[in-house]
Amino acid sequence: MAASGFEGFEKRLELHFSGDDPVIEMGGFRQLDFDSLEQVLHAVQCTVVSAVSNQYFDSYVLSESSLFVYPTKIIIKTCGTTQLLKSIRPFIHFACQMGLIITECRYTRGNYIFPKAQPYPHTSFKEEISYLQDQLPNHLCYRKASVMPSKFTSHSWHVFCACDKFYPIPIPIPNDRYTVEICMTDLDRVLARKFFKNPDTTGKQMTEVTGIGEIIPSALICEFAFDPCGYSMNGIDGDRYSTIHVTPEDGFSYASYECVGSIYDEDDIGRILKKVVQVFRPGKMSVSTTCSSSSSEICTRIVKAVEPLGMKRRSCTIDEFPAAGTVVFQTFMLMGNR
């Protein structure tokens, strides 16, 4: 817990690995036993509160956000005063034991609401980058760090990427997948009250009453309601994940939404964005999209989806990163009365 309130803005780490086919066919990183996983989370200072799996990956709802484990990829995002970057060294250690080698690292976050409450190594982006540089092996030699600004002092996007190969931009054989990370502040007070817990309230009830279950109807949802307030959920839909985290307290209310999409999904991201805005009705919102192929069409879909709901785009920043490709950071502000 931060000194002035709970820090909603998450830190997000994505690690990619490679290995021999037999290792990956046996499950790759999914072979990591739960006790070892708990050791990593102990270093980060969080725990597992709920979990669900399918044939593609394992999904964990944490006491502070989420963890997704694929055979050759790990995504972990944590909020509050967790020490996320302390997971890098043990993850690499366990990967080596299983015959996997790290090939890529991505770290992203927004602006902390309570930056002075953050512990080492998260007291500043400069310190985070220094720590990352020290923790990563030398073969991840193509590295870049950048702060993507906006017109809001409360919303900027911090990005660090490192990989073991040089990828020309645009990437010659692009992946059709993209990642969307949404950060929302100043949530509608009436809607935020739905994330306060009564004695008998369950996470499933919060999912239903807020409309979260309708964002991706085909997803299997694993959720958790915190006491006295707050909510987290992971959704699994085939090999794709989605996740939501909510800090509803007035004065520092915050919600995040993250999902994976495909550039071939016609109106999928537009439909999802509409639902997300309707669930939270934020006063300010940032949307970051990471895509190895052309990102202009995705960004256009996002603007067309949210501007009719009263969210006016205030800024758009574009940058290129090793292996990750193009990152587009857009900010929106609610115009008029709620």
In the chain, the amino acid numbered 306 is V
For residues 110 and 155, is the Cβ–Cβ distance under 8 A?
yes
Q: Would residue 105 show up in a list of annotated catalytic residues for this protein? A: no
Amino acid residing at 199: P
Q: Which of 122, 155, 158, 245 is catalytic?
A: 245
Per the annotation, the verdict on 42 as an active-site residue is no
Exactly one of 46, 59, 65, 66 is catalytic; which is it? 65
What dihedral do alpha carbons 199, 205, 211, 213 form, nearest 10°?
140
Spot the catalytic one: 59, 66, 156, 232.
232
Calpha distance 194→191 (Å, rounded): 6
In the annotated binding site for substrate, the residues are 6, 64, 226, 249
Of the candidates 79, 222, 291, 299, the residue annotated as catalytic is 79
The reply to whether 222 belongs to the active site is no
For helices 268-280 and 296-306, the axis angle rounded to 10 degrees is 40
Q: What CA–CA distances, in Å, run from 330 to 33, 118, 236, 294, 299?
A: 39, 25, 26, 16, 8
Query: Rounded to whole angstroms, how far apart are CA atoms 171 and 176?
Result: 11
The yes-or-no answer on residue 229 being catalytic is no
Enzyme catalytic residues: 65, 79, 232, 245
